[in-house]
Amino acid sequence: MSRYVCHFLVTTSSEHMRSVLKKMLEMCRLELIYEVTDYLNAREIPGRVAFARLATVEVLVDATNATPEAVKLTLVVKNEELPLNSNNHCRQMFDLLRSAIARNPHWHQIPTLQSNGSASVKTMTGLPTVGFEPTPTTDTLQATMN
């Protein structure tokens, strides 16, 4: 099983963020299958790739630490495909979603400061800033097999 995770802190309200996330998932050829206030679950529409390669996306919204100005998002992309090479379908979907979130014109990602190749936490106006997880030297560190 391939699994890729990244974290974002975006400047937007929780209400506006949910509608933007839904539109973004649709634009990435994903259909929303489950939704609650702090969690969205979507899956890739069947027909383009083999069944085991279909990606499932979970977006977790950290509502406990959300402020009127910023919301922390955790993006998890997974599928049943073994991560035998670095350019697998799950990684491609992960990169597509990560760039769609980072380039979304409806919000701004608060950048993170990195030192020694690892993500650091720094307080900016009282908010912890979390960006992309650092890229590992090999994909076997990023993808987990169950």
Note the pLDDT tens digit of each residue in 102-117. Answer: 887 777 666 653 333 3
**pLDDT at residue 94 tops 70:** yes
Note the pLDDT tens digit of each residue in 21-37. Answer: 899 999 999 999 999 98
Nearest CA among 44, 142, 47 for reference residue 85:
142
**pLDDT at residue 125 tops 80:** no
CA distance 143 to 123: 29
CA distance 53 to 46: 10
The two beta strands, 30-36 and 2-11, are unpaired
CA distance 61 to 64: 9
